[in-house]
Amino acid sequence: MTDPDLKPVLQRIADALESLQPAAPTPPDLASTDAFVWQAQGARLQPVPAVAHVDLALLVGIDGARDTLLDNTRRFANGHAANNALLWGARGMGKSSLVKAVHATINHEAPGSLVLVEIHREDIPTLPQLLTILAAAPRRCILFCDDLSFDTADTSYKSLKAVLEGGLEGRPENVLFYATSNRRHLMPRDMIENERSTAITPSESVEEKVSLSDRFGLWLGFHACNQAEFLSMIDGYVRQLDLKIDPDQLHAEAIEWSMTRGARSGRVAWQFIQDLAGRQGKKV
């Protein structure tokens, strides 16, 4: 083939290769709604039109954590200094529910003041990319990771440490990071103990592992509730949803329900209420 013959062939190849390139991501419109989920694979923020949350008043038995997180979030929404928060402790006691309820409460007080952005645990390595997007946003953002923890072979916690505090750029002024975990130090105990037993300098190695949780200015502990607190949750839901049932029968059924589950928690209380409302033909 002569040079003139090659030119159109090469042009078609170039056009084909160009068509295979992914389209440039559309800048997110953070004014379109109050909540988003970070989709790391496409590097985009997926809008969430309606966040599934419960009313803040229904979160019984966690008054201290509730008031502390609400005050911290309100200060952040008003443009004042605030801390990253780690909500840790017993499962089903309302850690993630509290974050969503506080977000809803603040936006009820001042509509549009806060954006809630959820990032999944497995997408933590893309956190710097997400922060770059949020830093350019005109709104203040709560970045939320539910059930954050790290396994023995996982090293992504190091990038999270740098992002939260200590990195060259640091956390954007308009972003606050909230995380929930069943572990206070976000690492399994055997991981920490193994470092203590095998490292040349055990104290330094352990410090490196547990220092991640130190990046959170607020540690809010959630502990298993007693029976009185469990029944208070049940009573609050019944009043809120206007369910009709004799109080003695309600408590007896609720206790039996918790015994069959082998646990008392806010999650178990809500599951019982869903069952009770369903039996009465009501939606929740």
CATH of the domain at 154: 3.40.50.300
Do residues 59 and 184 both lie within one domain?
Answer: yes
Do residues 198 and 252 both lie within one domain?
Answer: no
Could you list the residue range(s) of the whole structural domain that residue 112 is in? 35-222
Instruction: Kindly report, residue by residue over 54-87, the tens digit of the pLDDT.
Output: 889 888 878 899 999 999 999 999 999 999 999 9
pLDDT tier, 154 (very low <50, low <70, confident <90, very high otherwise): low
Q: Is the pLDDT of residue 209 over 80?
A: no
Q: 227 or 153: which carries more pLDDT confidence? A: 227
Do residues 92 and 205 both lie within one domain?
Answer: yes
Do residues 47 and 151 both lie within one domain?
Answer: yes
* pLDDT reported for residue 137: 86
pLDDT tier, 128 (very low <50, low <70, confident <90, very high otherwise): confident
Q: In this structure, is residue 16 part of a structural domain?
A: no
Q: 4 or 242: which carries more pLDDT confidence? A: 242
Do residues 59 and 77 both lie within one domain?
Answer: yes
Do residues 122 and 157 both lie within one domain?
Answer: yes
Q: In this structure, is residue 179 part of a structural domain?
A: yes
Q: In this structure, is residue 168 part of a structural domain?
A: yes
Q: In this structure, is residue 17 part of a structural domain?
A: no
- Encode the chain in three state secondary structure: CCHHHHHHHHHHHHHHHHHCCCCCCCCCCCCCCCEEEEECCCCEEEECCCCCCCCHHHCCCCHHHHHHHHHHHHHHHCCCCCCCEEEEECCCCCHHHHHHHHHHHHHHHCCCCEEEEECCHHHHHHHHHHHHHHHCCCCEEEEEECCCCCCCCCCCHHHHHHHHCCCCCCCCCCEEEEEEECCCCCCCHHHHHHHHHHCCCHHHHHHHHHHHHHCCCEEEEECCCCHHHHHHHHHHHHHHHCCCCCHHHHHHHHHHHHHHHCCCCHHHHHHHHHHHHHHCCCCC
Do residues 123 and 210 both lie within one domain?
Answer: yes
Do residues 182 and 83 both lie within one domain?
Answer: yes
In the chain, the number of structural domains is 2
Q: Is the pLDDT of residue 192 over 50?
A: no
* pLDDT reported for residue 95: 93
Do residues 72 and 211 both lie within one domain?
Answer: yes
Query: What predicted TM-score, i.e. pTM, was given to this entire model?
Result: 0.78
- In percent, the amount of the chain with pLDDT more than 70 equals 77
242, with CB counted inside 10 A (0-12, 13-18, 19+), is: exposed
